[in-house]
Protein backbone atom coordinates (compact mmCIF):
# COMPACT_ATOMS: atom_id res chain seq x y z
CA UNK A 1 0.00 0.00 0.00
CA UNK A 2 1.10 3.62 -0.44
CA UNK A 3 2.44 5.60 2.52
CA UNK A 4 -0.30 8.20 2.21
CA UNK A 5 -3.73 9.16 0.95
CA UNK A 6 -5.78 12.24 -0.05
CA UNK A 7 -8.50 13.59 2.26
CA UNK A 8 -10.80 16.55 2.87
CA UNK A 9 -11.07 18.53 6.11
CA UNK A 10 -14.60 18.47 7.53
CA UNK A 11 -14.14 20.28 10.85
CA UNK A 12 -13.26 19.76 14.51
CA UNK A 13 -14.98 18.06 17.43
CA UNK A 14 -13.99 16.07 20.50
CA UNK A 15 -14.16 12.45 21.58
CA UNK A 16 -13.93 10.86 25.02
CA UNK A 17 -11.39 8.09 25.58
CA UNK A 18 -10.71 6.65 29.03
CA UNK A 19 -12.51 9.62 30.59
CA UNK A 20 -10.40 12.20 28.73
CA UNK A 21 -11.76 14.74 26.23
CA UNK A 22 -9.55 14.68 23.13
CA UNK A 23 -9.86 17.42 20.47
CA UNK A 24 -9.89 15.85 17.00
CA UNK A 25 -10.10 16.95 13.38
CA UNK A 26 -12.59 15.05 11.24
CA UNK A 27 -11.14 14.22 7.81
CA UNK A 28 -13.22 12.63 5.07
CA UNK A 29 -11.17 10.23 2.96
CA UNK A 30 -13.17 9.10 -0.05
CA UNK A 31 -11.78 6.10 -1.95
CA UNK A 32 -8.55 6.94 -3.79
CA UNK A 33 -7.63 5.26 -7.06
CA UNK A 34 -4.25 4.30 -8.52
CA UNK A 35 -3.78 6.58 -11.53
CA UNK A 36 -0.15 5.87 -12.32
CA UNK A 37 2.69 3.64 -11.11
CA UNK A 38 6.30 4.80 -11.11
CA UNK A 39 9.08 2.21 -11.11
CA UNK A 40 12.78 2.36 -10.43
CA UNK A 41 13.60 1.01 -13.91
CA UNK A 42 11.64 3.68 -15.77
CA UNK A 43 11.48 6.66 -13.37
CA UNK A 44 14.39 6.02 -10.99
CA UNK A 45 12.23 5.44 -7.91
CA UNK A 46 9.12 3.58 -6.77
CA UNK A 47 5.97 5.59 -6.18
CA UNK A 48 2.26 5.70 -6.89
CA UNK A 49 0.02 8.56 -8.05
CA UNK A 50 -3.39 8.54 -6.37
CA UNK A 51 -6.47 10.46 -7.44
CA UNK A 52 -9.85 11.21 -5.92
CA UNK A 53 -13.11 13.09 -6.60
CA UNK A 54 -14.48 12.89 -10.13
CA UNK A 55 -14.40 15.86 -12.51
CA UNK A 56 -16.02 16.60 -15.88
CA UNK A 57 -14.24 15.17 -18.89
CA UNK A 58 -14.60 18.43 -20.83
CA UNK A 59 -12.63 20.27 -18.11
CA UNK A 60 -9.78 17.75 -18.08
CA UNK A 61 -6.60 18.34 -20.15
CA UNK A 62 -6.15 15.80 -22.95
CA UNK A 63 -2.77 14.48 -21.68
CA UNK A 64 -4.44 13.66 -18.34
CA UNK A 65 -7.39 12.04 -20.11
CA UNK A 66 -5.01 9.59 -21.76
CA UNK A 67 -3.54 8.67 -18.38
CA UNK A 68 -7.00 8.10 -16.87
CA UNK A 69 -8.12 6.00 -19.82
CA UNK A 70 -5.01 3.85 -19.52
CA UNK A 71 -5.93 3.19 -15.86
CA UNK A 72 -9.59 2.61 -16.89
CA UNK A 73 -10.74 5.45 -14.62
CA UNK A 74 -13.01 8.44 -14.96
CA UNK A 75 -11.22 11.84 -14.78
CA UNK A 76 -10.25 12.74 -11.20
CA UNK A 77 -9.84 16.22 -9.77
CA UNK A 78 -7.06 15.82 -7.17
CA UNK A 79 -3.82 13.94 -7.77
CA UNK A 80 -0.96 13.33 -5.33
CA UNK A 81 2.17 11.19 -5.44
CA UNK A 82 3.16 8.92 -2.54
CA UNK A 83 6.06 6.53 -1.94
CA UNK A 84 5.27 2.83 -1.84
CA UNK A 85 5.88 0.56 1.12
CA UNK A 86 8.57 -2.05 0.53
CA UNK A 87 7.39 -5.16 -1.26
CA UNK A 88 4.01 -3.68 -2.19
CA UNK A 89 2.53 -4.19 -5.65
CA UNK A 90 -0.46 -2.22 -6.88
CA UNK A 91 -2.48 -2.26 -10.09
CA UNK A 92 -3.75 0.62 -12.20
CA UNK A 93 -7.27 1.58 -11.23
CA UNK A 94 -7.06 -0.17 -7.85
CA UNK A 95 -9.19 1.34 -5.08
CA UNK A 96 -7.39 2.46 -1.91
CA UNK A 97 -9.34 3.18 1.28
CA UNK A 98 -8.15 4.88 4.45
CA UNK A 99 -8.31 1.67 6.51
CA UNK A 100 -5.89 0.06 4.03
CA UNK A 101 -3.24 2.72 4.74
CA UNK A 102 -3.56 3.73 8.42
CA UNK A 103 -4.75 2.23 11.68
CA UNK A 104 -5.51 3.50 15.18
CA UNK A 105 -2.52 4.91 17.03
CA UNK A 106 -0.42 5.64 13.91
CA UNK A 107 1.54 8.87 13.64
CA UNK A 108 0.91 10.80 10.44
CA UNK A 109 2.02 14.06 8.82
CA UNK A 110 -0.69 16.26 7.29
CA UNK A 111 -0.07 18.88 4.60
CA UNK A 112 -2.56 21.55 3.56
CA UNK A 113 -3.01 25.18 2.55
CA UNK A 114 -3.32 27.51 5.55
CA UNK A 115 -6.18 30.01 5.69
CA UNK A 116 -5.50 33.20 3.73
CA UNK A 117 -5.91 36.33 5.88
CA UNK A 118 -5.02 38.97 3.30
CA UNK A 119 -2.71 41.93 4.00
CA UNK A 120 -1.99 42.25 7.72
CA UNK A 121 0.28 44.29 9.93
CA UNK A 122 3.34 42.96 11.73
CA UNK A 123 1.50 42.46 15.01
CA UNK A 124 -0.97 39.97 13.57
CA UNK A 125 1.37 38.47 10.97
CA UNK A 126 4.44 37.98 13.20
CA UNK A 127 2.94 38.31 16.71
CA UNK A 128 4.93 41.44 17.59
CA UNK A 129 4.29 42.91 21.04
CA UNK A 130 3.98 46.52 19.88
CA UNK A 131 4.74 49.60 21.99
CA UNK A 132 3.51 50.61 25.46
CA UNK A 133 -0.15 51.54 25.77
CA UNK A 134 0.55 54.22 28.38
CA UNK A 135 -0.63 57.83 28.14
CA UNK A 136 1.50 60.12 26.02
CA UNK A 137 2.97 57.37 23.83
CA UNK A 138 2.54 58.05 20.13
CA UNK A 139 2.83 54.52 18.76
CA UNK A 140 0.98 51.41 19.87
CA UNK A 141 0.59 48.90 17.02
CA UNK A 142 3.69 49.74 14.97
CA UNK A 143 6.74 47.85 13.68
CA UNK A 144 9.42 50.16 15.08
CA UNK A 145 12.86 50.58 13.52
CA UNK A 146 13.52 48.55 10.35
CA UNK A 147 17.14 49.54 9.69
CA UNK A 148 20.11 51.84 10.36
CA UNK A 149 21.42 54.94 8.59
CA UNK A 150 24.65 54.67 6.58
CA UNK A 151 25.30 51.03 7.51
CA UNK A 152 23.69 49.02 6.01
CA UNK A 153 21.67 51.90 4.57
CA UNK A 154 18.88 49.62 3.44
CA UNK A 155 16.34 47.16 4.76
CA UNK A 156 17.68 43.61 5.07
CA UNK A 157 16.02 40.88 3.06
CA UNK A 158 13.66 38.60 5.06
CA UNK A 159 12.94 41.49 7.48
CA UNK A 160 9.63 40.72 9.16
CA UNK A 161 7.21 43.39 8.00
CA UNK A 162 3.56 43.81 7.05
CA UNK A 163 2.35 41.77 4.09
CA UNK A 164 0.25 38.84 2.89
CA UNK A 165 -0.54 36.49 5.76
CA UNK A 166 -1.49 32.84 5.29
CA UNK A 167 -2.35 30.89 2.12
CA UNK A 168 0.87 28.89 2.41
CA UNK A 169 1.59 25.17 2.27
CA UNK A 170 1.94 23.98 5.87
CA UNK A 171 2.83 20.53 7.21
CA UNK A 172 2.05 19.40 10.76
CA UNK A 173 4.19 16.47 11.95
CA UNK A 174 3.41 13.53 14.20
CA UNK A 175 -0.38 13.74 14.65
CA UNK A 176 -2.04 10.71 16.25
CA UNK A 177 -4.81 8.73 14.56
CA UNK A 178 -7.52 8.55 17.21
CA UNK A 179 -10.08 6.52 15.26
CA UNK A 180 -11.06 5.34 11.78
CA UNK A 181 -14.72 4.95 10.74
CA UNK A 182 -14.64 2.90 7.50
CA UNK A 183 -18.40 2.95 6.84
CA UNK A 184 -18.33 6.77 6.73
CA UNK A 185 -14.88 7.10 5.07
CA UNK A 186 -13.74 9.20 8.02
CA UNK A 187 -10.51 9.40 10.02
CA UNK A 188 -10.18 11.27 13.34
CA UNK A 189 -6.82 12.91 14.01
CA UNK A 190 -5.78 14.41 17.34
CA UNK A 191 -5.32 18.19 17.22
CA UNK A 192 -5.79 20.76 14.48
CA UNK A 193 -4.62 20.65 10.88
CA UNK A 194 -4.00 23.50 8.39
CA UNK A 195 -6.68 24.75 6.02
CA UNK A 196 -10.30 25.82 5.97
CA UNK A 197 -13.32 23.53 5.99
CA UNK A 198 -13.56 21.39 2.82
CA UNK A 199 -9.90 22.04 1.93
CA UNK A 200 -7.84 19.19 0.48
CA UNK A 201 -5.25 17.53 2.73
CA UNK A 202 -2.40 15.12 2.10
CA UNK A 203 -1.99 12.46 4.79
CA UNK A 204 1.35 10.63 4.96
CA UNK A 205 3.11 8.23 7.30
CA UNK A 206 5.08 10.37 9.74
CA UNK A 207 8.76 11.03 9.08
CA UNK A 208 9.40 11.38 12.82
CA UNK A 209 7.99 7.95 13.76
CA UNK A 210 11.47 6.37 13.60
CA UNK A 211 13.11 8.99 15.82
CA UNK A 212 13.58 8.36 19.52
CA UNK A 213 10.84 10.76 20.66
CA UNK A 214 8.62 9.55 17.83
CA UNK A 215 8.97 5.92 18.94
CA UNK A 216 8.03 6.83 22.51
CA UNK A 217 5.01 8.81 21.29
CA UNK A 218 4.00 5.97 18.97
CA UNK A 219 4.12 3.40 21.79
CA UNK A 220 1.93 5.59 24.04
CA UNK A 221 -0.47 6.27 21.16
CA UNK A 222 -0.85 2.57 20.28
CA UNK A 223 -1.51 1.71 23.93
CA UNK A 224 -4.12 4.45 24.37
CA UNK A 225 -6.10 3.99 21.14
CA UNK A 226 -5.81 0.19 20.88
Residue 107 has pLDDT above 80, yes or no: yes
Contact residues for 79 (Cβ-Cβ < 8 A; gap 6+): 35, 49, 50, 51
Same domain, 144 and 40: no
Which whole number is the average pLDDT over 78-106?
Answer: 87
Which whole number is the average pLDDT over 47-52?
Answer: 91
Q: What is the pLDDT of residue 143?
A: 87
Same domain, 187 and 158: no
Same domain, 204 and 218: yes
Residue 153 has pLDDT above 90, yes or no: no
Asked whether 180 and 99 are in contact (CB, 8 A), the reply is yes
Same domain, 59 and 103: yes
Q: What is the pLDDT of residue 41?
A: 85
Query: What pTM was computed for the model?
Result: 0.85
Residue 183 has pLDDT above 80, yes or no: yes
Which whole number is the average pLDDT over 24-46?
Answer: 90
Q: What is the pLDDT of residue 45?
A: 86
Give percent of the chain above pLDDT 90. 50
Domain count, the chain: 2
Cα Rg, the chain, nearest whole Å: 23
Which whole number is the average pLDDT over 28-35?
Answer: 92
Same domain, 105 and 172: yes
Which whole number is the average pLDDT over 173-194?
Answer: 93
- pLDDT band for position 89 (50/70/90)? confident
Same domain, 173 and 147: no
Same domain, 66 and 152: no
* Cα–Cα distance measured from residue 173 to residue 142, given in angstroms and rounded to the nearest whole number: 33
Same domain, 104 and 180: yes
Same domain, 128 and 198: no
Which whole number is the average pLDDT over 33-61?
Answer: 89
Same domain, 180 and 204: yes
* Cα–Cα distance measured from residue 9 to residue 13, given in angstroms and rounded to the nearest whole number: 12
Q: Residue 106: which domain range?
A: 4-116+168-225
Q: What is the pLDDT of residue 133?
A: 86
Q: What is the pLDDT of residue 109?
A: 94
Q: What is the pLDDT of residue 178?
A: 92
* CATH code, 174: 2.40.30.10
* Cα–Cα distance measured from residue 175 to residue 221, given in angstroms and rounded to the nearest whole number: 10
Same domain, 94 and 134: no
- pLDDT band for position 188 (50/70/90)? very high
Which whole number is the average pLDDT over 29-50?
Answer: 89
Query: In residues, how long is the chain?
Result: 226
The CA-CA-CA angle for residues 92, 27, 72, to 5°, reads 15
Which whole number is the average pLDDT over 47-68?
Answer: 90
Average pLDDT along the chain:
90
Same domain, 206 and 195: yes
Amino acid sequence: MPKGIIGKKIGMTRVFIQGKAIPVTVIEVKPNYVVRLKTEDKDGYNAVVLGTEERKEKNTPKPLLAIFKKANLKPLRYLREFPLKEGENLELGQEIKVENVFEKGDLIDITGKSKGRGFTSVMKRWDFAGFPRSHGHRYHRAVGSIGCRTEPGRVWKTKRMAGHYGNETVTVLGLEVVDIIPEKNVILVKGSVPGHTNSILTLKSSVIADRRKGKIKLQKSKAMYA
